[in-house]
Amino acid sequence: MKEKLKIDIVSDVVCPWCTIGYKRLEQAISELGVEDQIELEWQPFELNPKMPVEGQNITEHIAEKYGSTVEQQKESQERMADAGKELGFTFDYFDDMRMVNTFDAHVLLEYAKKFGKQTELKMRLTASFFSERKDVSKRDILKQALSEVGLNVQEGMDLLDNPEAREEVKKAENFWQSMGVSSVPTIVFNRKSALTGAQPVAVFKQALTELLAENE
């Protein structure tokens, strides 16, 4: 029995390049036909850990955080929308879009891992935020996402007020930061090597080919 290649994707639910990066990785895995040789796990990273409950207008937020002008942001959003379209994902940016707090979403992703539903929930939350104009910090939206991927809604929602479940996510965030992860997506292979950013499909294919050969 060949050992599986362990891939950890350190990312946030509201990170567009994380979605693009994952979709390209998924395409690379599919084109190589190595789905059965990969074990994938999502790891928490908050782009905005101090984001208040009410969130912040995305244009204001990006201007404050990165110094981007409205024109630069529009260009970047068009680039992301085009990249998404190529991968079958819709980025629907709009003027009143708000950047939100994602800690609760990470608690639920940790819960989903136990049932092999992590990727499904991650994609559901990402689509809620980017494609469906939903606020993924709101509990009714989180409930809906759990239900849509077939997880126990009550059990999942109870964890949001569970100090141990919250502490587990904080510990995981701190662990990856202590490993030097400061930007996302960071895609870690066998906890030995990593690629950062939404790399092209060809780059992922090359990395996977080499790493799977090493795993032989």
* Domain architecture of the chain: domains with CATH: 5-215 (3.40.30.10)
Please determine, for residue 200, whether its predicted confidence score (pLDDT) is greater than 80.
yes
Report which DSSP code applies to 3.
Answer: P
Chain segment 147-185, per-residue pLDDT in tens: 999 999 999 999 999 999 999 999 999 999 999 999 999
Q: Can you say whether the dihedral through the CA atoms of 32, 124, 16, 112 is positive or negative? A: negative
pLDDT of 1 reads: 61
- Specify burial of residue 204 (Cβ count, 10 A radius: 0-12, 13-18, 19+): buried
The pLDDT, as a whole number, for residue 55 is 96
Evaluate whether 111 touches 165 at the Cβ level (below 8 Å): yes
Task: Give the C-alpha separation, 98 to 119, whole Å.
Answer: 24
* pLDDT given at position 216: 79
Q: Which residues are CB-neighbours of 105 under 8 A, at least 6 positions away?
A: 13, 125, 136, 137, 142
* Confidence (pTM): 0.96
Is residue 34 a contact partner of residue 212, using CB atoms and an 8 Å limit? Answer: yes
Q: Identify whether the C-beta of residue 51 lies closer than 8 Å to the C-beta of residue 99.
A: yes
For every residue of 149-162, DSSP letters joined together read TT--HHHHHHGGG-
